Amino acid sequence: MSKDTVQNGLVVSMEYTLTVDGEILDSSNDAGPLQFLAGYDNIVPGLEREMVGMKIGESKDVVVLPVDGYGEFDEDAFMEVPRSEFPTDMELEAGLELNVSDEDGQHQMAFVASFNEEVVRLDFNHPLAGAELQFNVKVVGLREASQEELDHGHAHDEDHHH
């Protein structure tokens, strides 16, 4: 099995730019290349699928539809919570990101969709739900994953700065 193309079980370093509706939302220019362990759902499925077989130095434009990205926008993924359940000194604003835990103690992200004096409406959709994701990706490194990385199911960033 050749190790010079993206495939499951390899740690891939990639440079990328994510554009949604013509606006650049995310780019590796700031933080440097992203490392991910291929085959372990570290990145959105539609992008990973398109990257299999790419070689180091190769770049590609990939369009990921919502079903292969962050899912369709769910009109039912809203919850109304009494304003009294929020701290009185908390300044609410639309778009505010909250970490909400449910009865089981599971944490999930929510955004304040709207609010009034009685009720706060929370949106549990991922911010990119329903969005068509346009990636430009370039593979800049490939290596075999360590056993520990395979066990954990994600790449461990070495943080070696040369």
Same domain, 116 and 38: no
Direct distance between the N- and C-terminal alpha carbons of the chain, in angstroms, rounded to an integer: 30
Residue 158 belongs to some domain of the structure = no
- Using left for φ > 0, alpha for ψ between -120 and 50, and beta otherwise, residue 146 falls in beta
Q: Give the whole-number percent of the chain exceeding pLDDT 90.
A: 81
Helices (H) and strands (E) in the chain, counts: 3, 9
108's enclosing H/E stretch is strand 107-115
Q: What is the CATH number of the domain that holds 57?
A: 3.10.50.40
Overall domain count for the chain = 2
- Using left for φ > 0, alpha for ψ between -120 and 50, and beta otherwise, residue 48 falls in alpha
Task: Residue 43: give the domain boundaries.
Answer: 10-70+129-152
**CA 17/CA 140 separation, integer angstroms:** 14
CA angle 86, 89, 95 (to 5 degrees): 60
Residue 32 belongs to some domain of the structure = yes
Residue 148 belongs to some domain of the structure = yes
**CA 40/CA 5 separation, integer angstroms:** 16
For residues 63 and 90, which has the higher predicted lDDT (pLDDT)?
A: 63
pTM: 0.81
Query: According to the model, what pLDDT value does residue 158 have?
Result: 61
Query: pLDDT tens for residues 10-43?
Result: 999 999 999 999 999 999 998 899 999 999 999 9
Residue 39 belongs to some domain of the structure = yes
Q: What is the CATH number of the domain that holds 104?
A: 2.40.10.330
Same domain, 136 and 57: yes
Same domain, 57 and 108: no
Same domain, 85 and 46: no
Q: Tokens 């699928």 identify what position?
A: 49
- pLDDT above 60 for 8: yes
Q: What is the DSSP letter of 135?
A: E
